[in-house]
Chains A and B, each alone.
Chain A
Amino acid sequence: MDEKLKLVQAIIAITGSVMEGNNVLKQYQELTSPKKKYLYDKATRIVKRHNKPFDEAQPLVVVDIGVCAAEENEDPAVILLAQISKGK
């Protein structure tokens, strides 16, 4: 498994996404650059809001990333991938 897919699998586990890793990557790559940047900004605000130890932060991030995913009609893993990839 290549490094990118390993990272995506970790993101899937963190967000509780049910999407296959390849599909997460594909969906992210299909986003336009402005949309990637937009999702990065939105997800970064969520991550910063829950600046706590991982165990405490994860379920809270899951809720807010989930709400963001619903608003943006994207998968939760795609949203967090945008944050980790810095919208690039």
Chain B
Amino acid sequence: MSLLGHLFLQVRDILSGNYDKFAFATYEKACLEDFKRRYRTYNSINIASIGFEDYYLVYDLMCYKYKIRNPERYYIREALKSFFIYSIYNKGKVNSIYTRYPKKLQFFFDQYDELYTTNYDQNVEVFSGRNVGYLHGAFNIKNDIYDPDSMRNKMSDSPIKNCNIDDTHYYLYSNVITTYNGYSKMFSIKQTKDANIAIDKMASAYATNPSVKAEVDKWEKDANDLVRKLAEGIKLKLQDNELKFEETYPIQEFIDIKGNIDIVGLSPNNDTHIFEVLNDNEKLTTITYYYYDLAENEIVEQLLIKHTPIFKSVISLWEYYKRVK
């Protein structure tokens, strides 16, 4: 709780530009500018005014300022994540929001071949009775590092070894992604897929190319922990070809979408990585964006520059399904 107070106390300094020198990466600078642009319009801010993902930006900036480094930086961040996830899950109440959906909304979901969400809850899945792709993870999908049978836990530094899992709070061990920027979200989403491709290629090269074999053997004693882990992963793969990191985010399926897509309830501010995937998809014929505020449309047009999105009001959409008999 104290951490949240410390984070909020930085907001005034951030808005005054006192944290500008602590944003280093391009995405950090862009997110900091976006943070200032959005919150400088407020006359008054309280702890609940700041979006929960924005607290991660504040935290990263604070880590730079106060020289908080890994592993502490990681552990504190995970504690912050647990705090937010616990609150969002709200003792399971988040999963009963669908009981307030208009019954006829079922027709809306029925018209699509595939459903994707960036929410962590199961409301759409339960209400529609359909499979849903959880692009940012879900409360009920376990994170690889908490699965005792995962490839990650077959490695010598098995992260589950020193972890007491409390299954009554299973959602705290889920694969939900919480961060403030699209770049980090996409990195997390693609991480296991990219790792599997790399390990596959390296294992194949190890088995067929003596110079690669000699190099990988050297990596086992490398000073860099990541290099040592890569060598260990390659050897594990060679022992069991079926072994792979679990890919729990349906990103490839989402990249491969064809035809028409409707976007409802997606923020053009926080989810730019989703828009980037759609913008690069040449197989899409129509993109319809349901806006809440007309101001969103200009941002969406810029994000989907390779397409000509159609804009419709989300308020009218909900009103229609409330009225329809």
A→B interface (CB under 8 Å): 12, 16-19, 23, 56, 58-63, 66-67, 69-70, 74-76
Contact = CB atoms under 8 A, between A and B. Distances in A.
Interface in B1-51: 1-6, 8-12, 15, 39, 42-49
Nearest to A77: B44
A58 B8 CA distance: 11
A60 B5 contact: yes
Interface of B: 1-6, 8-12, 15, 39, 42-49
Contact of A58 (B3, B5, B43, B45): B5
Nearest to B11: A16
Contacts of A60: 1-2, 5
Which of A23, A56, A66, A74: most chain B Cβ within 10 A?
A66
Contacts of B8: 16, 62-63, 66
B43 A19 contact: yes
Contacts of A67: 46-48
Interface residue SS majority, chain A: helix
Given A70-B49, A75-B44, A76-B46, A17 B12 contact: yes
B15 A18 contact: yes
B12 A70 contact: no
Which of A18, A19, A67, A70: most chain B Cβ within 10 A?
A18
Given A17-B12, A59-B9, A60-B5, 12 more contacts: A16-B11, A17-B44, A18-B11, A18-B39, A18-B42, A23-B43, A62-B5, A62-B47, A63-B4, A67-B46, A69-B44, A70-B47
Nearest to A56: B2
Contact of B47 (A19, A63, A74): A63
B47 A66 contact: yes
A75 B9 CA distance: 14
10 closest A-B pairs (Cβ-Cβ)? A59-B5, A66-B47, A62-B5, A70-B48, A69-B46, A75-B44, A16-B9, A59-B2, A63-B5, A66-B46
A23 B49 CA distance: 18
A62 B9 contact: yes
Contacts of B10: 16
Contacts of A74: 44
